[in-house]
């Protein structure tokens, strides 16, 4: 039985314009998994304040990163969508080299190509075995659970439901940790290690953790595994959280405030890596590479280096393949 693997990431506006950003944010921020405050209150805020104002503010940031990679090389369109598509293509090549009867596609939670349309297309081709692979190493209800919701909704009215599984997380997978470590070592070989290594994860509201979300624990364990793989002492690295939104308290310490404090304390150089991101996107290429670089340098820091996401690294593709192999149905695994 042939298996189709669907790599999934968050999604992106169709183009770097305010109308396209507004459409994307409407879809994204309307999901109850993403924003958990009472619906009537949130929808009033979303449609009354966020959607009228935020798209115009962040569309220029999308325009800055559109069509370029972390190393400045040109890519086609949205970096996030480009990398997700290419990861699927490279994973397909990897399995093809090994004569594995596995088809790899890609989809996004918000925007296009959507999961339902991708699944429909694959089912028309005859596939009845699916592995949905969210490219979020650390599980959160705000990200991975939204994909579980979509899977359930897609097959809600199906009489004959296919064999389908979802990769819940891979935060401590040894292949993933080694790929992260190799990316850091490759960076150090070119530029030498900085005084500090900051592991910046995407933040979520602190209240989510109190409700049972395992994200903070999984981020901490990823960081500890990576630090151990690199042989770092406790004073050489730290975890932080970025991309907070709204007035509620989010996971701390905050990335921007940490970098400002380090600059003021006399930390001369810093390397920043974002282990929660499988592909470079707005949050890494603009928020980390540009905004937080300025925060650190303006506070007195001298040397700021962003270590790109794993993107299209061969060891990243091999890590994804190893995770897929663990999820294959028995017939496909042989």
DSSP state of 61: H
3-state secondary structure 190-205: HHCCCCEEEEEEECCE
Closest among 219, 12, 20, 209 to 107, alpha carbons compared: 12
202 assigned ligand-binding residue: yes
For helices 174-191 and 215-230, give the axis angle rounded to 10 degrees: 50
User: How many CB atoms sit inside 10 A of residue 270's CB?
Assistant: 24
Instruction: Name the phi and psi angles at 238, rounded to 5.
Output: -155, 150
128 assigned ligand-binding residue: no
User: How many CB atoms sit inside 10 A of residue 257's CB?
Assistant: 12
For CA atoms 54, 216, 167, 179, the dihedral sign is positive
| Residues annotated within a binding site | 202, 283
| Residues annotated within a binding site for Fe(2+) | 202, 283
């Amino acid at each position: 039985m042939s298996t189709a693997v669907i790599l999934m990431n968050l999604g992106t506006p169709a183009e770097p314009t305010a109308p396209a950003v507004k459409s994307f944010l409407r879809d994204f921020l309307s999901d109850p998994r993403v924003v958990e405050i009472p619906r009537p209150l949130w929808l009033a805020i979303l449609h009354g304040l966020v959607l009228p104002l935020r798209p115009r503010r962040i569309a220029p940031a999308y325009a800055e990163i559109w069509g370029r990679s972390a190393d400045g090389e040109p890519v086609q369109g949205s970096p996030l969508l480009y990398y997700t598509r290419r990861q699927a293509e490279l994973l397909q090549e990897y399995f093809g080299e090994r004569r594995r009867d596995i088809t790899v596609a890609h989809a996004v939670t918000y925007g296009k190509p959507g999961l339902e349309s991708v699944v429909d297309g694959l089912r028309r081709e005859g596939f009845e075995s699916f592995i949905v692979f969210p490219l979020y190493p650390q599980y959160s209800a705000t990200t991975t659970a939204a994909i579980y919701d979509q899977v359930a909704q897609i097959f809600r009215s199906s009489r004959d439901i296919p064999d389908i599984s979802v990769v819940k997380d891979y935060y401590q997978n040894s292949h993933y940790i080694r790929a992260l470590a190799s990316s850091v070592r490759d960076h150090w070989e070119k530029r030498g290690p900085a005084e500090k290594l900051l592991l910046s994860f995407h933040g979520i509201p602190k209240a989510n953790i109190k409700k049972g979300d395992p994200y903070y624990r999984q981020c901490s364990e990823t960081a500890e595994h990576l630090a151990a793989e690199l042989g770092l002492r406790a004073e050489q690295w730290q975890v932080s959280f970025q991309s907070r939104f709204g007035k509620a308290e989010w996971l701390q310490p905050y990335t921007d405030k940490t970098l400002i404090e380090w600059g003021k304390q006399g930390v001369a150089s810093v390397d920043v890596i974002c282990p929660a991101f499988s592909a470079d996107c707005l949050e890494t290429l603009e928020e980390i590479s540009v905004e937080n670089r300025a925060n650190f340098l303006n506070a007195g820091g001298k040397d700021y280096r962003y270590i790109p996401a794993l993107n299209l690294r061969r060891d990243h593709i091999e890590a994804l393949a190893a995770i897929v192999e663990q999820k294959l149905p028995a017939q496909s695994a042989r």
